[in-house]
Amino acid sequence: SQRTLVLLKPDTVRRGLVGEILGRFEAKGLSIVAMELRTIDGETADQHYAEHVERDFYPPLRAFVTSGPLVALVLEGDEAIEVVRALNGATDGRKAAPGTIRGDLSLSNRENLVHGSDSAESAAREIKLWFPDVP
Ligand code: ATP
């Protein structure tokens, strides 16, 4: 079994889609290990998106992820990292396949509702960043 760090970004909370999206992860069979509604500051955004801080798209992404509460969670299950990314769909909601969270619910490449760790290394780093006290 494997753990992954998932964010239901501020657009999810704003649009009232927390239940819909969390329901998809639960229905798939993933377990919730930790979960918190939180509004982050720019420094936390910079740490989370360390690999993107120099990119052109980062300043508006930083403004977006700090714009309101998001839900951070740790999900656990067999191959959870890959399973969550498959459920999330392609980054750009306009191109993501129907049946995926982004494909069904997002029409944007920035406001794409969810984040999921992209590797075991990222998952370990992000879980430590968001939930330092989760054993
Ligand atoms: P995440 O890391 O959030 O699961 P991802 O791995 O599909 O998404 P990344 O390439 O890591 O996508 O980009 C991180 C986030 O930055 C995206 O989820 C999206 O919100 C934003 N983003 C990425 N590319 C662009 C872009 N070209 N324009 C605007 N926002 C972007």
Q: Write out the DSSP string of 14-55.
A: HTT-HHHHHHHHHHHTPEEEEEEEE---HHHHHHHTGGGTTS
Query: What's the pTM value of the predicted model, to 2 decimals?
Result: 0.96
Residue 116 near ligand 1, beta carbon < 6 Å: yes
Instruction: Select from 63, 15, 38, 64 the least CA-distant residue to 129.
Output: 38
ipTM of the complex: 0.91
Would you call 52 a catalytic residue per the annotation? no
How many helices (H) and strands (E) in the chain?
7, 4
pLDDT tens digits along 76-133: 999 999 999 999 999 999 999 999 999 999 999 999 999 999 999 999 999 999 999 9
Residue whose CA lies nearest to ligand 1 atom number 19: 110
pLDDT tens digits along 30-40: 999 999 999 99
pLDDT tens digits along 4-53: 999 999 999 999 999 999 999 999 999 999 999 999 999 999 999 999 99
Residue whose CA lies nearest to ligand 1 atom number 12: 91
